[in-house]
Structure 1
């Protein structure tokens, strides 16, 4: 099974894949950004062909109005979005003001409670959507036209992620895969290393890198968990990926739904396994420092030592492709590429961790509803896909638009019949945990060397009653 998957992974970089996407994932950056959809295309998005304007006529005269969009997606990942909004502006006369923030999760609630919400937010966590819907009542149910589009173009699981207490609020938007390890193909080849197919192979490779570099200046792994108010989320991704691999999908689901406590032995095993890499001074933090430097390094910078050879591996999602310096070739034979994070237990199958963004509105003005509808359209998703780091769970995606090899690789993994997919756990948990104590306690686990049991007990105590 694993050999079949790895062969498909290798082939995916050079072959187009015809499929209907059923799955998705999420990402963020940590530099404030803003813009509107009136500029040119810097993100590889061809907006010259125009779009079908007919669906927006039902919203009446909306020329000259403005819609504000608030998101955690920042430079350089923001530009393909801004470019893909331009045809909507040309078609309707509606200006889209794009605002990205590294403090999205914290600041969105502040803005809502202060009576100054955006028109639309791109929610990276269904758990945060649920919290704001239930605690504030400020999110507007999706209009009928948007719900009809979701029913037509998206799978029922994805509609369910945007549904709270049987009311549909937020359409799915983007996709990516989190179960990747980035590396330099040339560095591997020069050192005589092979891409590992099992977790044990990966640990053996890590030990070999340590042995081959006794001075300690080069290490197997590099990482960073800094992300403004969202610091710690990359550490939770490590935890979730490992939980899927040690406990399996069924126990993972129980964990997400709090059917087992956060300090359950199965969760403790996963954290201990993560610690075997992230808290191993022999393994980290190549090109940066020791274990504690992971907490003070931004997630954007965490993988960069791969390029200068001071680090060999960096576990991060597919959207990390946007964070390599300009001119870096991302390809199987390029400067950097990624391999599938190997399984641990045979019984866990071939697990994939992913997540996604969801389009929720705080206003029901005609121009806002028109923009919501545009973001569910095949016009938008195919334009946005051209910009890379974007795989929408939309049935009318033209896979020829997946020009980035990591997007193609992600699509291959997501649609493999051997794959067991699960959504990012912290994104599904209540906001107080998923975007709160889970992040902060994992940060303390690294920055302060807080004990495993104390971390898990603290998160368990924070779970809403």
Structure 2
């Protein structure tokens, strides 16, 4: 059997193949013959299949996609299911159109509960099987299960996770210049101003460009400040529209973030003026830290992968390494730990045993430990051993997610209706950075909120 690497699936061909695909359970001889030195014990529960294939689409690309494919290679060998993965930056924009036309992949790795809800409301999703639900009930919190649920029906288990609100920095620069890790938002402001006053470089470097999703990294800033300035209850009210998007509390968060992102003294180190945030890709936005051209970069735990864009390991992520990160601090040093984060959800567009076998595996502690061990990511699966993570920072991140005392809130834009969280909020960030008044931006986003 060919061990699949991610290749391009052609949607109409996939749809036609899905119609004629016949699943045949086999005795296991084929899988046994091809397993070689692979220990198939952990995969026996998923069964064996002859000639079955499953297509998966998502936003995950490049090195992270390679690692994703590697995470299921033993599963393929032992079950006989061939998995073909395609990653695309346009997945979020295209998946509803593909689903409506009957051309969606068998599984879509959806990065937004709001998008999951839109697909479920369209009638395109297959509810999760009992095996998937059993895994989620065992390995995930009720909150995470709810993110994969729409209108009372459970559609998808969580996959990977991220903690947002990390501020990346150079430990050697901090040591050399005597900078202290800020413990409050006021101390973060003071540190930023100190770096700006020294005049060597702008303190912050930022990249907001992401194709049709340009602006989303800016929404992460707003969400972090909303949670820290106003607490989890107000954050929840904002996300669910119990308070309007143009509420004064939201304006306060925008203006606080604007002290950095709309300030020529603060950004865009090593890149250009304020306007270059919109054209600088989020993947490369933090890299000027490596050249000493900025000192701080706000981005999630998954950004670890981007410090070595060629896939090497010359830039280490450690408290004594090339780069490390601290969490965006609270208002008061003794405030409870509150973090925002995100995750993905493998939804199914085709009802088949092999599809659910793949989804059941992806919801297991076996898959989560396999993928975390390959590096660059974390999971909120409670069966994950934090020590399997590839860096000190990711070990810490998993421990934060597993700590029952942590106040965790899912990325707000990902929970909002798609017309807001994946459209007007992103576009509003771009308009705002381009000079539009805060209140006008908030009024425009509020007007886009669906009436039902």
TM-score normalised per structure 2:
0.88
Assess if the C-alpha contact under 8 Å between 2:361 and 2:367 holds in 1: yes
The residue number in structure 2 matching 1:52 is: 42
**1:157 partner SS:** helix
Q: Secondary structure at the match of 1:220?
A: coil
SS in 2 for 1:99: strand
- CA separation in 1, counterparts of 2:63 and 2:435? 33
Instruction: Tell me the distance in 2 between the aligned counterparts of 1:178 and 1:49.
Output: 36
Segments of 5+ residues of structure 1 without an aligned counterpart are 1-32, 37-46
> Residue deviations 1:256-290, cap 9 Å, x none?
11000000000000000010111110000000001
Match of 2:21 in 1: none
1:115/1:101 Cα in 2 relative to 1: closer, same or farther (>3 Å)?
same
3-state SS, counterpart of residue 329 of structure 2: coil
Deviation string, structure 1 residues 41-97 (Cα, Å, up to 9, x no partner)? xxxxxx95445232122xxx6222211111111112112211011011101111111
Rounded to whole Å, the distance in 2 between the matches of 1:450 and 1:50 is 58
- 1:183 equivalent in alignment to 2:173: no
Corresponding residue of 1:334: 321
Among 80, 96, 120, which residue is 2:107 paired with? 120
Distance 1:334 1:345 in 2: 28
Matches within 5 A, 1:65-80: 65-80=52-67
Cα drift, residue 395 of structure 1: 2.8
Compared CA separation, residues 242 and 151, structure 1 to 2 (3 A)? same
* In 1: Cα distance, 2:413 partner to 2:335 partner: 20
The within-5 A match list for 1:237-276 is 237-276=220-259
> Which position in structure 2 is the counterpart of 1:212?
198
- Do 2:169 and 2:289's aligned partners in 1 also have CA atoms closer than 8 Å? yes
Relative distance call for 1:310 and 1:178 in structure 2 (3 A) is same
Kindly report which structure 2 residues correspond to 1:168-317, keeping only aligned pairs within 5 A, or say none. Answer: 168-213=154-199, 218-317=201-300
Match of 1:28 in 2: none
Report SS of the residue matched to 2:274.
coil
Q: Distance in 2 between matches of 1:187 and 1:113?
A: 52
Distance 1:140 1:356, change over 3 A: same
Q: Deviations over 1:335-370 (max 9, x none)?
A: 000011111257963321111111110001111111
SS at match of 1:53: helix
User: Hey, what's the Cα distance between the residues in 2 that align with 1:240 and 1:405?
Assistant: 25
- Say whether the 8 Å CA contact 1:123–1:360 is kept in structure 2: yes
Matches within 5 A, 1:416-455: 416=403, 419-446=406-433, 448-455=434-441
Unmatched 5+ stretches in structure 2? 9-36
Task: Summarize the alignment of residues 410-421 of structure 1 with structure 2, pairs less than 5 Å apart.
Answer: 410-416=397-403, 419-421=406-408
**Is the CA contact (8 Å cut-off) linking 1:285 and 1:293 kept in structure 2?**
yes
CA distance in 1, matches of 2:141, 2:97: 32
Distance 2:282 2:238 in 1: 26
1:417 CA displacement: 5.8
CA drift of 1:390 comes to 2.5
Give the whole-Å Cα distance in 2 for the aligned partners of 1:272 and 1:459. 16
Pairwise CA distance, 1:387: 1.5
Cα deviation for residue 176 of structure 1 reads: 1.6
CA contact (8 A) 2:57 2:108 kept: yes
Give, in whole Å, the separation in 1 of the partners of 2:95 and 2:349: 11
Whether the 8 Å CA contact 1:172–1:356 is kept in 2: the answer is yes
Q: TM-score, normalised by structure 1?
A: 0.86
Q: Distance in 2 between matches of 1:328 and 1:284?
A: 23
The residue matched to 1:87 in structure 2 has which SS? helix
**Does 1:319 find its partner at 2:306?**
no
Over the aligned positions, Cα root-mean-square deviation in angstroms equals 1.8
Residue 380 of structure 1 is matched in structure 2 by: 367
- Report deviation, 1:159: 1.1
| Residue of structure 2 in register with 1:363 after alignment | 350
Structure 1 residue corresponding to 2:387, chosen from 400, 406, 412:
400
1:108 equivalent in alignment to 2:91: no
| Structure with higher RCO (Cα < 8 A, 6+ apart) | 1
Distance 1:48 1:343 in 2: 47
Confirm or deny: 8 A CA contact 2:6 2:69 kept in the other structure: no
Structure 2 match to 1:133 = 120
How much has 1:415 moved relative to structure 2? 4.0
Equivalent pairs counted in the alignment come to 415
Q: Distance in 1 between matches of 2:51 and 2:74?
A: 15
Q: CA deviation at 1:249?
A: 0.8
Q: Check the 8 A contact 2:167/2:328 in 1, yes or no.
A: yes
Q: Following TM superposition, by how much is the alpha carbon of 1:411 offset from its aligned partner in structure 2, in angstroms? A: 2.1
Counterpart Cα distance in 2 of 1:398 and 1:274: 35
SS in structure 1 at match of 2:173: helix
Mapped to 1, the partners of 2:140 and 2:407 lie a distance apart of: 19
Deviations 1:403-427 (A, max 9, x none): 3222112123334565321111011
Q: 1:248–1:347: 8 Å Cα contact kept in structure 2?
A: no
1:386–1:346: structure 2 CA closer, same or farther, 3 Å change rule? closer
Check whether the contact 2:376–2:390 (CA below 8 A) recurs between aligned residues.
Answer: no
